[in-house]
Amino acid sequence: MTIYDIPVKTLTGDDSSLASFKDEAILIVNVASKCGLTPQYEGLEELQKKYGPQGFSVVGFPCNQFAGQEPGTAEEIQTFCSTTYGVTFPLFEKIDVNGEHQSPIYKELEKVSDAEGYSGDVRWNFEKFLVAKNGSVSRFAPQVTPEDPALLIAIETALS
């Protein structure tokens, strides 16, 4: 089973999966509305606009595991993201990225090491996992912004 086969729900609660992204490069991000890193939504949306036409998508999974920084309902999250940051990329249901109720997607993703060699539990909101068209995965720490040259190079490579 791959991350594309794992059942997920959309933010509105509909059954879904990441299967529709199988031939694209995707940036999977655990997001939160009340975090010091929340302004990264703006940069994530810019990535969506810039690379979307080339077969790329940001995929957001709201998560409330870090200091309760995503307390909202699905409707509140959607409204916040669309009105505050103009988010057009897909958001899925609020999930746990660590612990006993960890999403199976994150159980797979956390095996990947970032540039500093860290693997394991997601450390904070806005940790990023780039899945290339060929299925390879790269991991980026939460503090790596969407504008970071290393992330941009990785996205461009993932699209080729």
DSSP secondary structure letters along 24-76: SEEEEEEE-SSSTTTTHHHHHHHHHHHHGGGTEEEEEEE--TTTT-----HHH
pLDDT of residue 160: 86
pLDDT band at 20 (very low <50, low <70, confident <90, very high): very high
Structurally, at CATH architecture level, domain 8-159 sits in 3-Layer(aba) Sandwich (3.40)
Chain mean pLDDT for the chain: 95
The CA distance from 31 to 37, in Å, is 9
Candidates 34, 26, 28, 33; CA nearest to 103 is 28
Question: Can 81 be counted among the known catalytic residues?
Answer: no
Catalytic residue among 35, 81, 91, 154: 35
Q: How many CA atoms lie within 13 A of 117 on its CB side?
A: 0
The stretch 27-32 carries a mean pLDDT of: 98
pTM of structure: 0.96
